[in-house]
Chain A
């Protein structure tokens, strides 16, 4: 297992091992890299690679054709291709036939199909870059099982980059930690590395198994003070255009001031649809969202999805899964100033607030940078800060901690908890168990487009 904080060079090393980097195109390349004594580029046909984004791991429109793709490229005789395809699909537990459309698979199924494509080529080196990062917990378990199958069938040496270490430990017997800025921080058996360097690794952002995370539940509310509702969703239903199935059906829930709600459930259960409707970004096909006076002032008769965008951003801030979708300026500083300037805040006040936010999120040194050039963790922090800059009472987030190293994770949880403790409401769609444990006061579980349960967090 290859570990290291964001930007330590894990993905670059993996690409180099895969023979996908051309030293002659590099700005600066030094040192020697061999795979089985050869240049990695000469070992390519014995190397299997699976990256984190399921959508771009598949090439063909039908599952069987996709597994066959690598065999065709390797000029395997046509008669030998299909038996190998069928055996590979069966080995990874792919639940459909050859003709299954690849665009109708869940993220976990797509990753298992990509693994079948790798298995078909019987690699001796297996390179995996966060293969479960985009997959819900149940799907991720099946993907890890499939990785185990590929390892056993091929006997391949595996190099696995993974943020979430604990779940992936059964797949590895050695841990290498890259140091930010070059060199190694640790190299050895997992138990040894984590017991000896655990604190230091956690400090640098690596997810260390069993390392304690801060718990930021709200201070207990006095039993006699009633909850102040901010948003009330009643019987929400939503059907995508052309779809036969309801993405959301009869979902009712309330969001209160001073609470953090986690929305959980498997992929496709309607979590994101629910969140976007609650956030006033989409009109429900049935049912309605109502905002109460503390949130909407005189606008309580108008549902949030009909509010003007500037008004909406002042009341409900939404943070999307991909931060790049929300960047609207060319400078980090401007990105934070847009919201307050729109509502007519004086420039001097805006400057001070932007300065404070930059300081708080350790982005001051990047104030003049283009948002698109930041690292993953920096982009995430910036997108949350940009939503907070307009000072909305409600904050809705879609997978806010996805793919973040531990340091950024802790900062995000602190940021959201502070917003909640200042009287705001947080509604976070998440697969991340740790977010639920550390932050959530209440958990909404969605299943097949409906709210299966709502529970006060315990502990």
Chain B
């Protein structure tokens, strides 16, 4: 799921919204969803989020394509609860667990889908006052991650060429894995050092002021986005209270 480039870049307002505002709204929704302990509140919340996303240009299909591991693990948790739980109402408990996991994680998935990491770093520096050295160093490191995936395959092939494979021996698998990780890490450290050198050679370690080529502004609509997240939480809770099902975690 980690990629320096977003996969689905919708043209709707959600794509244009300020990255930090999106992150804040997602945090509000995620933490808010964790506060209720019934099935209705998170279910309503998920429904509302999906409706609003559809209006913003992100369809459920986009989300499923990238976020299906989340759905699978949530369903798995639900099934486990249903089969092995000791609740007097197993089905209800299973549904509650499933909806809560989805509601807590969905906003995060949406952020990954709609925020370009470069924009997020820019916005974190300009709007949230995160130190530039930290944000851009992390961004540069993120750029190297996909390379490590390819390198993993190369190292495995290179070791096979040396006559090394595990066959059916599980102990050998562990041993082999450790050796491959070691080689990968040696390469990652070398590469990281070279990248740091290239960054410093272009003045990244200068202590003076730094300008920003890509301005990120917080508009009124971005403030509305964060406020909207609270409104969504309140709506979900109200519906649940109206059904008489609302159950906060602290009660």
Q: Which of B140-162 contact A (CB under 8 A)?
A: 140, 143-144, 146-147, 151, 154-155, 157-162
Q: Which of B184-228 contact A (CB under 8 A)?
A: 186-187, 191, 194-195, 197-204, 206, 208-215
B203 & A73 in contact (Cβ 8 Å cutoff): yes
A65 & B118 in contact (Cβ 8 Å cutoff): yes
Report the bound CA distance from A276 to B118 in whole Å. 35
* A279 adjacent to chain B (CB < 8 Å): yes
Q: What chain A residues lie within 8 Å of B161 (beta carbons)? A: 279, 281, 309, 312-313, 316-320, 326, 387
Q: Which of A1-25 contact B (CB under 8 A)?
A: 15, 18, 20
Partner of B163, one of A57, A59, A82, A310: A310
* A402 adjacent to chain B (CB < 8 Å): no
Write the chain B residue with the least CB distance to A77.
B211
Most buried by A among B118, B159, B212, B213: B213
B210 & A309 in contact (Cβ 8 Å cutoff): no
B203 & A309 in contact (Cβ 8 Å cutoff): no
A117 & B202 in contact (Cβ 8 Å cutoff): yes
Q: Which of A76-118 contact B (CB under 8 A)?
A: 76-78, 81-82, 85, 101-103, 114, 117-118
5 contacts between A and B (CB under 8 A): A59-B198, A68-B214, A72-B211, A77-B211, A309-B164
Q: What chain B residues lie within 8 Å of A78 (beta carbons)? A: 211-213, 215
Q: What chain A residues lie within 8 Å of B186 (beta carbons)? A: 324, 372
From known contacts A73-B202, A103-B146, A324-B187, infer whether A51 and B118 are also in contact, taking CB-CB under 8 Å.
Answer: no
B211 & A81 in contact (Cβ 8 Å cutoff): yes
Report the bound CA distance from A324 to B183 in whole Å. 7
* A384 adjacent to chain B (CB < 8 Å): no
Q: What chain A residues lie within 8 Å of B117 (beta carbons)? A: 61
A313 & B203 in contact (Cβ 8 Å cutoff): no
B118 & A59 in contact (Cβ 8 Å cutoff): no
Q: What chain B residues lie within 8 Å of A325 (beta carbons)? A: 151, 154-155, 158-159, 183, 187
Q: What chain A residues lie within 8 Å of B213 (beta carbons)? A: 65, 68, 71-72, 78, 81-82, 85
Report the bound CA distance from A102 to B160 in whole Å. 31
Q: What chain B residues lie within 8 Å of A62 (beta carbons)? A: 118
* A124 adjacent to chain B (CB < 8 Å): no
Write the chain B residue with the least CB distance to A396.
B161
Partner of A55, one of B191, B206, B209, B214: B191
* B63 adjacent to chain A (CB < 8 Å): no
Q: What number of B residues sit within 8 Å (CB to CB) of A?
A: 49
Q: What chain B residues lie within 8 Å of A279 (beta carbons)? A: 161
From known contacts A51-B194, A312-B160, A326-B162, infer whether A60 and B201 are also in contact, taking CB-CB under 8 Å.
Answer: no
Report the bound CA distance from A51 to B151 in whole Å. 21
B212 & A20 in contact (Cβ 8 Å cutoff): no
Write the chain B residue with the least CB distance to A62.
B118
B118 & A56 in contact (Cβ 8 Å cutoff): no
Nearest-CB distance from B202 to chain A (Å)? Answer: 4
* A74 adjacent to chain B (CB < 8 Å): yes
A55 & B210 in contact (Cβ 8 Å cutoff): no
Q: What chain A residues lie within 8 Å of B167 (beta carbons)? A: 308
From known contacts A59-B202, A70-B202, infer whether A53 and B194 are also in contact, taking CB-CB under 8 Å.
Answer: yes
Nearest-CB distance from B79 to chain A (Å)? Answer: 29
Report the bound CA distance from A78 to B163 in whole Å. 56
From known contacts A51-B194, A53-B194, infer whether A308 and B143 are also in contact, taking CB-CB under 8 Å.
Answer: no
A342 & B159 in contact (Cβ 8 Å cutoff): no
What 0/1 readout, one digit per residue, does chain A (314-344) give for beta carbons within 8 Å of chain B? 1011111010111110000000001100100
Nearest-CB distance from B207 to chain A (Å)? Answer: 11
Report the bound CA distance from A130 to B141 in whole Å. 24
Q: Which of B94-141 contact A (CB under 8 A)?
A: 116-118, 136, 139-140
From known contacts A51-B197, A59-B136, infer whether A72 and B162 are also in contact, taking CB-CB under 8 Å.
Answer: no
A44 & B203 in contact (Cβ 8 Å cutoff): yes
* A289 adjacent to chain B (CB < 8 Å): no
A74 & B200 in contact (Cβ 8 Å cutoff): no
Report the bound CA distance from A69 to B200 in whole Å. 11
B163 & A72 in contact (Cβ 8 Å cutoff): no
* A160 adjacent to chain B (CB < 8 Å): no
B157 & A282 in contact (Cβ 8 Å cutoff): yes
* A49 adjacent to chain B (CB < 8 Å): yes
Q: What chain A residues lie within 8 Å of B16 (beta carbons)? A: none
* B173 adjacent to chain A (CB < 8 Å): no
* A390 adjacent to chain B (CB < 8 Å): yes
Q: A59-B204, A74-B206, A328-B164 are in contact. List 10 more A-B contacts (CB 8 A).
A: A56-B144, A56-B191, A74-B203, A75-B208, A75-B209, A103-B143, A281-B157, A309-B160, A309-B162, A387-B161
Q: What chain A residues lie within 8 Å of B214 (beta carbons)? A: 65, 68
Write the chain B residue with the least CB distance to A313.
B163
Write the chain A residue with the least CB distance to B161.
A318
Report the bound CA distance from A93 to B191 in whole Å. 27
What 0/1 readout, one digit per residue, does chain A (251-282) give for beta carbons within 8 Å of chain B? 00000000000000000000000001001011
* B4 adjacent to chain A (CB < 8 Å): yes
Nearest-CB distance from A63 to chain B (Å)? Answer: 12
